[in-house]
């Protein structure tokens, strides 16, 4: 039996935590061998679809190749690997989507997140957690597709177009972290807890509605926000409604 130190969470890179380049396999090996985690949550990714389209090689390295380093090292020490994936693996034409539904990605970002298949094939005890757009406490507004709207609302002197077609289900980062912790706890008790899981937010909305809510929250005018439902798609194509079904997690009592 492998002896491990008491469980310690690794937080964001700041004092008392460490930065790591997941593209350097030796760096991943050394830090995991040193820390020897019981659970490894792999959430490193280029999350912006338009950036992925414009920088495909660099994005694929981070979204696909880097996860291979995590898979290998987690397997070597018997750690439970949770790979964070996305609702964007679905085309968005037939929601709500269950875990067993066949992915049909519309853009390159979505295709890179299908690295989840390799995770499950190469790490037989791993879990894939698909999550929609995240929001919560940030250090920079650009960290989330939700918080970045504050700049649009506060600083623009012109009309701002906001999409009102694509349905999103924002998930708070604390809720996502709680589900990861609960999944890990269930896995410690039951080795059969593995495979793919869905964690959607509790409410569907659009970028237009989120922008209006942001304006209301900060007592800013929303009159410059322009509802858009029929403009041509700019940048990477997004699914219209990739709502996820969460009944599998609910059956386990996770996320309640």
What are the C-alpha distances in Å from 26 to residues 2, 66, 126?
21, 12, 22
Domains of the chain, CATH where assigned:
36-251 (3.40.50.720)
pLDDT digits (tens, 9 = 90+) for 132-172: 988 888 888 778 778 877 877 776 677 888 888 889 999 99
Region label for 78, one of left (φ > 0), alpha (ψ between -120 and 50) or beta (otherwise): left
pLDDT digits (tens, 9 = 90+) for 183-234: 999 999 999 999 999 999 888 999 889 888 888 888 888 888 888 887 666 7
What secondary structure does DSSP assign to 16-74, as a single string? TS----TT-HHHHHHHHHHH--SEEEE------HHHHHHSHHHHHIIIIIHHHHHHHHH
Mean pLDDT, rounded, for 1-17: 49
């Amino acid at each position: 039996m492998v002896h491990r130190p008491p469980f310690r969470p690794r937080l964001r890179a700041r004092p008392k935590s460490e930065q790591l380049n997941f593209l350097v396999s030796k760096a991943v090996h050394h830090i995991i061998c040193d820390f020897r985690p019981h659970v490894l949550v792999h959430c490193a990714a280029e999350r912006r679809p338009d950036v992925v389209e414009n920088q495909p090689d660099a994005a694929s390295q981070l979204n696909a190749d880097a996860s291979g380093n995590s898979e290998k090292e987690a397997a070597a020490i018997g750690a439970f690997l949770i790979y964070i994936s996305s609702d964007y693996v679905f085309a968005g034409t037939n929601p709500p989507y269950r875990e067993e539904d066949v992915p049909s990605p519309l853009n390159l970002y979505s295709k890179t997140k299908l690295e989840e298949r390799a995770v499950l094939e190469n790490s037989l005890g791993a879990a894939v957690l698909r999550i929609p757009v995240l929001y919560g406490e940030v250090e920079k507004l650009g960290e989330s597709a939700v918080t970045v709207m504050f700049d649009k609302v506060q600083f623009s002197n012109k009309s701002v177009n906001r999409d009102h077609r694509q349905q999103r289900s924002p998930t708070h980062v604390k809720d996502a972290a709680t589900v990861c912790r609960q999944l890990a706890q269930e896995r410690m008790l039951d080795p059969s807890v593995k495979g793919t899981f869905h964690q959607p937010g509790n409410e569907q909305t659009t970028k237009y509605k989120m922008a209006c809510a942001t304006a209301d929250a900060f007592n800013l005018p929303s009159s410059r926000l322009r509802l858009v439902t029929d403009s041509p798609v700019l940048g990477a194509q997004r699914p219209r409604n990739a709502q996820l079904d969460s009944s599998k997690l609910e059956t386990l009592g996770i996320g309640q």
